[in-house]
Amino acid sequence: MKREVAIIGYGALKIGKYPEKSDNELAIESIRLSLEDSGVPKDDVDGLFTTPNYLDRMGLQLSTIAEYMRVSPKSMAEISCGGTAAGLTIKYAMNEILLGNIDIAVCYGTETRRSMIEGYYKGKITNMFEPTTQPHISGGTIWAYACSARRYMHEYHAKEEHFAMAAVRDREAATKNPYAYFRTPITVDDVLNSTILCTPIKLLDSSAARDGAAAVVLASKDKARRFSDAPVYLRAVGEHHDNSLFVPTDRRDKSISSFTATKEAAKDAFKMAKCKSNDIDIAEIYAPFSPQELIIPEDLGFFTRGGMIKAIQDGSTEIGGEIPINTDGGLLSRGHPAMITPFYESISIIRQLRGEAGKNQVEGAEIGLMHCEGGMLNNCMVFIFQRG
């Protein structure tokens, strides 16, 4: 029988604030929930994969979690690549299963403000650029996304109102998502009148870094049939990395209103899955700021260049529209624990394809696309999932 890989369980904590719990406690809780959902006994887990934890100075968090779980995996790995980290753990586990090395894997991750501030921001995110770039920019990354937004506005005559509409759409979905951090409805005027952070990006155009923990259980086809009545199969993954960090310095396509890595990853994923963009029923995109909510769907092939301006106005990306996007609120409203955000994205897709999305359910959803990125869309992955 041809080996295939399915996700058969998930577990996640509501994105929020957990100052009273350690990162390992959060991790164990998400893993416990994922195993309960899958029905897999912990002793059957032979692969354990995770994203970095910046409080783990020795790089031994996997051994600690294995000890807590009392499991002895055949394969373990901690994988880092910015915002694509969680996506890469899923790909690594998938490949290990396809190779026949393991049958069941748990991919998990935690991210907290405590670990980010104490272990990451001290001398890292504020000094992440080359010496030729660093003196000309502020700390953080918002400036790059703002530059991209301004270029998109120039090329396609987008207005700040169009970006605000994406934020409002995401918030509407988040009001019905139990995992979301922001659940209070907002209006376009609320977004436009919120604090300016870096023109044209305002506070409500932005994602919020919060605490989170999530896990998914992957299994070979025969194990998926044994444990699950509703497996979600991983049909394809495309991955592409350009040769720049945030600003396009030496890559062939120097545009900052369209991104080669997203386009190439999507092309490879569609080829592997033997489908096209119009076969996708739902999509989760990794957009830390609202302008990228317009740019990324175009790069994925859902709309022509500049076409998202009309789409965001006519409801094409809302539930019930042509291609529902971010049906759980996206990064802007669900919350954004950056390296593990792809776990939450994948869970959103799984809930849709299993018919568990409640008031946000897209009727008849069979095929879902997940996009994740690192840098400013310099590292991109595109997954295609299909209901079993």
Q: Structural domain boundaries of the chain?
A: 5-120+211-219
d(Cα 23, Cα 210) in Å, to the nearest integer? 13
Beta bridge partner(s), residue 386: 233, 367
Distances (CA, A) of 359 to 37, 40, 271, 311, 362: 21, 28, 33, 22, 9
Q: What is the pLDDT of residue 60?
A: 82
How many CA atoms, within 13 angstroms, populate the side-chain half-sphere of residue 286?
A: 32
- The structure tokens listed for 366 are 């069979």
The stretch 377-384 carries a mean pLDDT of 93
Given this model, what pLDDT does residue 375 score?
83
* pLDDT confidence of residue 57: 58
End-to-end C-alpha distance for the chain, whole angstroms: 16
Distance CA(362)–CA(202), nearest Å, equals: 30
- How confident is the model at residue 112, as a pLDDT? 87
Q: What is the SS3 assignment for 116-128?
A: HHHHHHCCCHHHC
Is the pLDDT at 126 greater than 70? The verdict is no
Q: What is the pLDDT of residues 208-248, one digit of tens each?
A: 889 999 999 999 999 999 999 999 999 999 999 987 776 66
Coil, helix or strand at residue 82: coil
Give me the chain's average pLDDT, please. Answer: 92
Give the residue, 132 or 306, on which the prediction is more confident. Answer: 306
- The two structure tokens encoding residue 116: 């980010």
Residues 6 or more apart whose Cβ sits within 8 Å of residue 340? 51, 85, 86, 109, 110, 111, 212, 213, 214
% of the chain exceeding 70 in pLDDT: 88
Better-predicted residue by pLDDT, 260 or 48: 48
| Closest among 386, 388, 108 to 269, alpha carbons compared | 386
- Can you tell me the mean pLDDT for 316-344? 96
pLDDT confidence of residue 226: 96
pLDDT at 143: 85
Of 116, 159, 42, give the one whose Cα is nearest residue 339: 116
pLDDT of amino acid 42: 97
CA angle 160, 166, 170 (to 5 degrees): 145
DSSP character string of 11-61: EEPPSB--TTS-HHHHHHHHHHHHHHHHT--GGG--EEEE---TT-TTS-H
- In three-state secondary structure terms, 309 is helix
Q: What sections of the chain are H helices per DSSP?
A: 23-38, 61-69, 85-98, 113-116, 142-156, 160-174, 188-192, 221-227, 260-273, 290-299, 307-314, 330-334, 341-353
pLDDT of 118 higher than 60 = no
Q: What is the model's pLDDT at position 251?
A: 54
Q: Is a pLDDT exceeding 90 seen at residue 133?
A: no
Tally of helices (H runs) and strands (E runs) in the chain: 13, 11
Q: What are phi and psi of 382, to 5 degrees?
A: -130, 120
What is the DSSP secondary structure assignment for residue 139, as one 8-state letter? S
pLDDT tens digit string along 336-372?
Answer: 998 999 999 999 999 999 999 999 999 999 999 999 9
With pLDDT > 90 as the criterion, what percentage of the chain qualifies? 79
Please give the Cα distance from 306 to 157 (Å, whole number). Answer: 8
Compute how many other C-beta atoms are within 10 angstroms of the C-beta atom of residue 55.
17
What was the pLDDT predicted at 56?
59
Tell me the mean pLDDT in the region 26-49.
Answer: 98
**Regarding the domain with residue range 5-120+211-219, which homologous superfamily does it belong to in the CATH classification?**
Thiolase/Chalcone synthase (3.40.47.10)
Residue 84: closest CA among 384, 386, 385, 378 = 378
Q: What is the pTM of this model?
A: 0.94
Q: What is the pLDDT of residues 270-306, one digit of tens each?
A: 999 999 999 999 999 999 999 999 999 999 999 999 9
* Coil, helix or strand at residue 174: helix
Confidence at residue 199, expressed as pLDDT on a 0 to 100 scale: 96
pLDDT over 70 (residue 33)? yes
**Does 249 have pLDDT greater than 90?**
no
Lowest mean pLDDT among 113-117, 224-228, 236-240, 326-330: 113-117
Residue range 147-178, pLDDT digits in tens = 999 999 999 999 999 999 999 999 999 999 98
Write out the DSSP string of 342-359: HHHHHHHHHHHHTT--GG
Return the pLDDT at 59: 66
